[in-house]
Amino acid sequence: MKQVNCATYEGLDAKVVQVESTLTKGLPSFSIVGMASTAITEAKERVKSALLSNDFSFPPKRITINLAPSDVQKNGSQFDLSIALMIALDFMQEDLSEWFVFGELGLDGAIKENIQLYPLLLSLANQKIISKAIVPHESLHKVCKIPNIEFYGVKTLQEAIDLLKNKDTSSPASQQSAVEYPFYEIDGEKYFYIKEYAEDFLDVKGQEVAKRAALIAAAGFHNIVYEGSPGCGKSMIAKRLRYILPPMSNDEVLDVAKLHALDFREPDFKPHRTFRSPHHSSTLASVFGGGSHRAQIGEVGLAHRGILFFDELPHFSRNVLEALREPMQDNKIRISRVNAKVEYPADFLFIGAMNPCPCGNLLDENKECRCSELEIKKYKNRLSDPFLDRVDLNVVMQNVNADDRASLSSKEMHKMVVEAHIFAKRRGQAAFNAKLSDAEIEKFCLMDEEANAVLAIAIGRFALSFRSIKKVQKVSRTIADLDASEIIMKKHILEALSYRRR
């Protein structure tokens, strides 16, 4: 019996599959067993044609291909090449169990790329269970960015056969850096950034409080909700905030590239964090993912390492908003179905934008609000207190005036965020301020006596919950980082308290 390795999805992660083969005496037949999907069972015809097209005489034997473990559903066309090699190399005595083989076969034996190959390989690399892999040659420019794996690119089935026959003398493709952008290095970790501002904060006139809150949210990855009249700049600020987010490590860039592939997009390996903005009519499944047989990733998962923006926040269904509480707090989400139970990371910065009332004119000095008190109360009650308690910054937007002028540009704000990021990393902090655990808050959120006194007064006056107290400490830590202050002072606490919900 011969064996090589391939992989399939189990939920959102890769599961190793051993491709085993036996060629025995008996009536000629070709069968694939092991809970194979239709795409894999159809591989028999592609494999036959590819082998015959390369002058291979199909053996008059009983051919059985087993995909182990047999209790896992296998999907995808990436099994074609491994199945063909098991038949073609039946005569070889060498152990091939350390090799992973991926590739879809054309009828002429050409090896084709599969868009799902990159996230599969990245998941295997993260699990540290792969060291050598044969992949389609046209995929090399992407997969070679994944570290600690030797990749061998092949264009045809014959090249793959020759490679394994001469595996001791074959050389892997050269490793490539995932990111070729400016970076700085702290404690051996590189952080990449890019100075591209497709949408600039210079376009936002006035709104100084809102822009300051955006700067704090970006520097510490704090959840933020903007409330204001229609057209005052809520969405403008949200769309520009993605360009001033902190730099990304190599692992973060690879994670975002994996999400691009899962979203059927070509990974670009840019140190730009993702921006997802689902419509308020989106269903629970489209936002959080799901599926009766195979779990599919949703908008919350695709926003990992980036921004999740809900415009017209109160118009989202109550089920969606209440379900969002868990990932906002725990930075992960769990999907439970009869056939699948999946947990995946959802570490995102949440931005919400809402009007002050159904007609939007409640805060406008020049327009009359047409809403009754009951309508306004009903509109506000769409957002529950437990949901709003998970928001770090609440900002009421100012009226738009003809005298409003531009102030800070995105380039200037991004520089301030980068400096705050470096300041936090140099004190040994791994997580963003908004994601600090209780133990890390005690370690990093050090306050002077005046700051402690102000916080104690605020706890009594505003009846702050334990979660609210921690959020005030974390926001004030970010404000202190922007001031390059190791100790949180009174002014930092006061500014943090100014953003709490009233």
For the cut 80, the answer to whether the pLDDT of residue 341 exceeds it is: no
Quick one: tokens of 126?
A: 């993260």
pLDDT tens for each residue of 115-168: 789 889 988 988 889 999 999 999 998 888 888 899 999 999 999 999 998 888
Q: How confident is the model at residue 291 (pLDDT cuts 50, 70, 90)?
A: low
Query: How far, in Å, CA of 463 to CA of 401, rounded?
Result: 36
> What is the reported pLDDT for 141?
86
- Omega cis (within 30) before 69: yes
Q: How confident is the model at residue 339 (pLDDT cuts 50, 70, 90)?
A: low
Q: Which of 150, 20, 163, 167 is nearest to 82 (CA)?
A: 20
> What is the reported pLDDT for 1?
66
Query: How far, in Å, CA of 119 to CA of 266, rounded?
Result: 11
> What is the reported pLDDT for 398?
84
> What is the reported pLDDT for 403?
83
pLDDT tens for each residue of 369-425: 999 999 999 999 999 999 999 999 999 998 888 788 888 899 999 999 999 999 999
> What is the reported pLDDT for 258?
86
Name the average pLDDT for the chain.
90
> What is the reported pLDDT for 27?
87
- Range in 266-275, 390-399, 431-440 with the lowest mean pLDDT: 266-275
- Range in 126-140, 184-198, 220-234, 286-300 with the lowest mean pLDDT: 286-300
How do 275-276 and 307-310 pair as beta strands?
parallel
One-character DSSP codes across 239-268: HHHGGGSPPEEHHHHHHHHHHHHHTT----
> What is the reported pLDDT for 255?
87
> What is the reported pLDDT for 91?
67
For the cut 70, the answer to whether the pLDDT of residue 178 exceeds it is: no
> What is the reported pLDDT for 2?
77
Query: How far, in Å, CA of 150 to CA of 173, rounded?
Result: 7
For the cut 90, the answer to whether the pLDDT of residue 363 exceeds it is: no
DSSP 8-state code for residue 312: S
Question: Side-chain half-sphere of 225: how many Cα atoms within 13 Å?
Answer: 18
Radius of gyration of the chain (CA): 27
Q: Which of 190, 152, 154, 156 is nearest to 172 (CA)?
A: 152
For the cut 70, the answer to whether the pLDDT of residue 455 exceeds it is: yes
Highest mean pLDDT: which range of 19-28, 258-267, 358-367, 482-491: 482-491
> What is the reported pLDDT for 414?
96
Q: What number is the average pLDDT over the span 275-292?
A: 88
Please give the domain boundaries of the chain with CATH numbers for all domains.
2-165 (3.30.230.10), 186-420 (3.40.50.300), 436-502 (1.10.8.60)
> What is the reported pLDDT for 227?
95
> What is the reported pLDDT for 457?
95
pLDDT tens for each residue of 48-60: 999 888 888 777 8
- Expressed in angstroms, the distance from the first to the final Cα of the chain is 70
- Range in 131-140, 148-157, 198-207, 288-297 with the lowest mean pLDDT: 288-297
Q: Which residue has the higher pLDDT, 80 or 258?
A: 80
Query: How far, in Å, CA of 267 to CA of 261, rounded?
Result: 6
The percentage of the chain sitting over the pLDDT mark of 70, rounded to a whole number, equals 97
> What is the reported pLDDT for 294?
65
Q: Which residue has the higher pLDDT, 109 or 291?
A: 109
> What is the reported pLDDT for 75?
87
Query: How far, in Å, CA of 86 to CA of 156, rounded?
Result: 15
